[in-house]
Chains A and B, each alone.
Chain A
Amino acid sequence: MLSRVADSLYWLSRYLERAENLARLVDVCRYDALDAADDDNEEIWRPILYATCTEESFREARDATDDDLDVGSFITFSEANPDSIRQCIALARENARMVRDQISEEMWLELNSIHLFMQSGEAEELWRLQPEGLYREVIKFCLLFEGLIDATILHDEGWHFVQAGKFLERADKTSRILDMLTYAGEPERSQLASALRSCSGFSAFRAEFRGEVTLQNVMGFLLFSPSFPRSVRFCLRELDRILHAISGMPAGAFSNEAERITGSILAQLNFSSVENVWSTGLHRFIDELQQQLNLIGQQVFETYVLLPSEVQNVARPEAWQFQWQQQQQQ
Chain B
Amino acid sequence: MGIVSLCSMFQSYQKESFFDEMFAAERGEVFPHYEALLERFDRLDEAEVTEKQRRVDRGFLEQGITFTVYGDDRGTERIFPFDLIPRIIPDAEWQTIERGLTQRIIALNLFLHDIYHEGRIMKDGVIPEDVVKTAAHYRPEMLGVDVPKDIYIHICGTDLIRDGEGRYLVLEDNGRCPSGVSYLLENREAMKRAFPRMYRHYGVRPVDHYPELLLKTLQHVSPRPGQTPVCVLLTPGVYNSAYFEHTFLARKMGIEIVEGRDLIVLDGYVYMRTTKGLVQVDVIYRRLDDDFLDPMVFREDSVLGVPGIMDAYLRGNVALANGVGTGVADDKVTYAYVPDMIRYYLDQDPILENVPTYLAWREDDQKYMLENLARLVVKAANESGGYGMLMGPTSTSAEREEFAAKIKENPRNFIAQPVVSLSRHPTICEDHEIEGRHIDLRPFILYGEDVEIIPGGLTRVALRKGSLVVNSSQGGGSKDTWVLHR
Task: Write the B251-292 contact mask toward A (1 if CB under 8 angstroms, else 0).
Answer: 100001111011010000000111110000000000001001
Q: What is the CA–CA distance of A324 and B292 in the complex, to the nearest angstrom? A: 11
Task: Say whether B241 faces chain A, with CB atoms less than 8 Å apart.
Answer: yes
Q: Is the CB of B250 within 8 A of A325?
A: no
Q: Is the CB of B237 within 8 A of A108?
A: no
Task: Say whether A6 faces chain B, with CB atoms less than 8 Å apart.
Answer: yes
Evaluate whether A330 and B257 lie within 8 angstroms (CB atoms) in the complex, with A1-B275, A109-B63 already known: no
Task: Say whether A190 faces chain B, with CB atoms less than 8 Å apart.
Answer: no
Q: Is the CB of B303 within 8 A of A246?
A: no
Evaluate whether A116 and B256 lie within 8 angstroms (CB atoms) in the complex, with A3-B273, A94-B238 already known: no
Q: Is the CB of B238 within 8 A of A101?
A: no
Task: Say whether A314 faces chain B, with CB atoms less than 8 Å apart.
Answer: no
Q: Which residues of B have CB within 8 Å of A246? A: 275
Task: Say whether A271 faces chain B, with CB atoms less than 8 Å apart.
Answer: no
Task: Write the A283-313 contact mask toward B (1 if CB under 8 angstroms, else 0).
Answer: 0000000000000000000001001000000
In this complex, what residue of A is CB-closest to B251?
A101
Task: Write the B292-326 contact mask toward A (1 if CB under 8 angstroms, else 0).
Answer: 10000000011110000000000000000000000
- The smallest beta-carbon distance between A231 and chain B, in angstroms, is 29
Q: Is the CB of A329 within 8 A of B70?
A: yes
Task: Say whether B387 faces chain A, with CB atoms less than 8 Å apart.
Answer: no
Task: Say whether B62 faces chain A, with CB atoms less than 8 Å apart.
Answer: yes
Q: Is the CB of B304 within 8 A of A307?
A: no
Task: Say whether B2 faces chain A, with CB atoms less than 8 Å apart.
Answer: no
Q: Is the CB of B273 within 8 A of A101?
A: no
Q: Which of A6, A112, A161, A328 has the most CB of B within 10 A?
A: A328
Q: Which residues of A have CB within 8 Å of B276? A: 1
Q: Is the CB of B238 within 8 A of A97?
A: yes
In this complex, what residue of A is CB-closest to B243?
A97
Counting chain A residues whose Cβ lies within 8 A of the other chain, the interface size class is 20 to 34
Q: Which residues of A have CB within 8 Å of B304? A: 324, 327-328
Q: Is the CB of A324 within 8 A of B303?
A: yes
Q: What is the CA–CA distance of A330 and B247 in the complex, to the nearest angstrom? A: 18
Q: Is the CB of B292 within 8 A of A327?
A: yes
Task: Write the A249-282 contact mask toward B (1 if CB under 8 angstroms, else 0).
Answer: 0000000000000000000000000000000000
Q: Is the CB of B251 within 8 A of A328?
A: no
Contact pick for B274, options A1, A98, A320, CB 8 Å: A1
Quick one: which of A1-36 are within 8 Å of B by CB?
Answer: 1-6
Q: Which residues of A have CB within 8 Å of B68? A: 329
Task: Say whether B236 faces chain A, with CB atoms less than 8 Å apart.
Answer: yes
- The smallest beta-carbon distance between A308 and chain B, in angstroms, is 12
In this complex, what residue of B is CB-closest to A327?
B304
Q: Is the CB of B238 within 8 A of A98?
A: yes
Contact pick for A330, options B62, B64, B289, B303, CB 8 Å: B289
Q: Is the CB of B62 within 8 A of A116?
A: yes
Q: Is the CB of A108 within 8 A of B63?
A: yes
Q: Is the CB of A3 within 8 A of B262?
A: yes
- The smallest beta-carbon distance between B239 and chain A, in angstroms, is 4
Q: Is the CB of B240 within 8 A of A328?
A: yes
- The smallest beta-carbon distance between B172 and chain A, in angstroms, is 19
Q: What is the CA–CA distance of A45 and B272 in the complex, to the nearest angstrom? A: 48
Task: Say whether B405 faces chain A, with CB atoms less than 8 Å apart.
Answer: no
Q: Is the CB of B241 within 8 A of A327?
A: no
Evaluate whether A327 and B64 lie within 8 angstroms (CB atoms) in the complex, with A100-B251, A101-B251, A304-B275 already known: no
Quick one: which of A105-157 are within 8 Å of B by CB?
Answer: 108-109, 112-113, 116, 157
How many residues belonging to B are interface residues under a CB distance threshold of 8 Å? 35
Q: Which residues of B have CB within 8 Å of A327? A: 236, 292, 302-304
Q: What is the CA–CA distance of A109 and B65 in the complex, to the nearest angstrom? A: 11
- The smallest beta-carbon distance between B276 and chain A, in angstroms, is 8
Q: Which residues of B have CB within 8 Å of A2? A: 256, 258, 262, 272-275
Q: What is the CA–CA distance of A101 and B245 in the complex, to the nearest angstrom? A: 11
Task: Say whether A323 faces chain B, with CB atoms less than 8 Å apart.
Answer: yes
Contact pick for A101, options B63, B240, B241, B247, CB 8 Å: B247
Q: What is the CA–CA distance of A330 and B240 in the complex, to the nearest angstrom? A: 8
Task: Say whether B61 faces chain A, with CB atoms less than 8 Å apart.
Answer: yes
In this complex, what residue of A is CB-closest to B239?
A328
Evaluate whether A101 and B61 lie within 8 angstroms (CB atoms) in the complex, with A94-B238, A323-B301 already known: no
Contact pick for A112, options B64, B241, B272, B273, CB 8 Å: B64
Q: What is the CA–CA distance of A127 and B259 in the complex, to the nearest angstrom? A: 39
Q: What is the CA–CA distance of A323 and B305 in the complex, to the nearest angstrom? A: 13
Q: Is the CB of B275 within 8 A of A329?
A: no
Evaluate whether A307 and B250 lie within 8 angstroms (CB atoms) in the complex, with A112-B62, A112-B63, A323-B303 already known: no
Q: Which of B62, B275, B303 has the most CB of A within 10 A?
A: B275
- The smallest beta-carbon distance between A245 and chain B, in angstroms, is 12
Q: Which residues of A have CB within 8 Å of B262? A: 2-4
- The smallest beta-carbon distance between A302 and chain B, in angstroms, is 12
Q: What is the CA–CA distance of A28 and B371 in the complex, to the nearest angstrom? A: 77
In this complex, what residue of B is CB-closest to A109?
B62
Q: What is the CA–CA distance of A320 and B261 in the complex, to the nearest angstrom? A: 13
Q: Which residues of A have CB within 8 Å of B256? A: 2, 5, 101
- The smallest beta-carbon distance between B386 and chain A, in angstroms, is 16
Q: Which residues of A have CB within 8 Å of B264? A: 307
Q: Is the CB of A3 within 8 A of B275?
A: yes
- The smallest beta-carbon distance between A303 and chain B, in angstroms, is 9
Q: Is the CB of A3 within 8 A of B302?
A: no
Q: What is the CA–CA distance of A304 and B277 in the complex, to the nearest angstrom? A: 9
Q: What is the CA–CA distance of A161 and B274 in the complex, to the nearest angstrom? A: 13
Task: Write the B206-250 contact mask toward A (1 if CB under 8 angstroms, else 0).
Answer: 000000000000000000000000000000111111010001101
Quick one: which of A207-223 are within 8 Å of B by CB?
Answer: none
Q: Is the CB of B247 within 8 A of A4?
A: no
Q: Which residues of B have CB within 8 Å of A116? A: 61-62
Q: Which residues of A have CB within 8 Å of B259? A: 4
In this complex, what residue of B is CB-closest to A307?
B273
In this complex, what residue of A is CB-closest to B264?
A307
Q: What is the CA–CA distance of A97 and B251 in the complex, to the nearest angstrom? A: 12
Q: Which residues of B have CB within 8 Å of A324? A: 237, 303-304
Q: What is the CA–CA distance of A48 and B330 in the complex, to the nearest angstrom? A: 59
Q: What is the CA–CA distance of A97 and B250 in the complex, to the nearest angstrom? A: 13
In this complex, what residue of B is CB-closest to A103?
B251
Q: Which residues of B have CB within 8 Å of A157? A: 275
Q: What is the CA–CA distance of A307 and B57 in the complex, to the nearest angstrom? A: 43
Q: Is the CB of B261 within 8 A of A4?
A: yes
Q: Which residues of A have CB within 8 Å of B292? A: 327, 330
CB<8 Å pairs between A and B, sample of 16? A3-B273, A4-B259, A4-B261, A97-B243, A100-B248, A101-B256, A101-B257, A112-B63, A112-B64, A116-B61, A246-B275, A324-B237, A327-B303, A327-B304, A328-B236, A328-B238
Given contacts A116-B62, A327-B303, A330-B236, 9 further A-B contacts (CB under 8 A): A2-B258, A3-B274, A5-B256, A100-B248, A101-B257, A161-B275, A307-B273, A328-B237, A329-B70
Spell out A's residues near B (CB within 8 Å).
Answer: 1-6, 94, 97-98, 100-101, 108-109, 112-113, 116, 157, 161, 246, 304, 307, 320, 323-325, 327-330
* Top 5 closest pairs, chain A to chain B, by CB: A101-B251, A100-B247, A328-B239, A328-B236, A101-B250
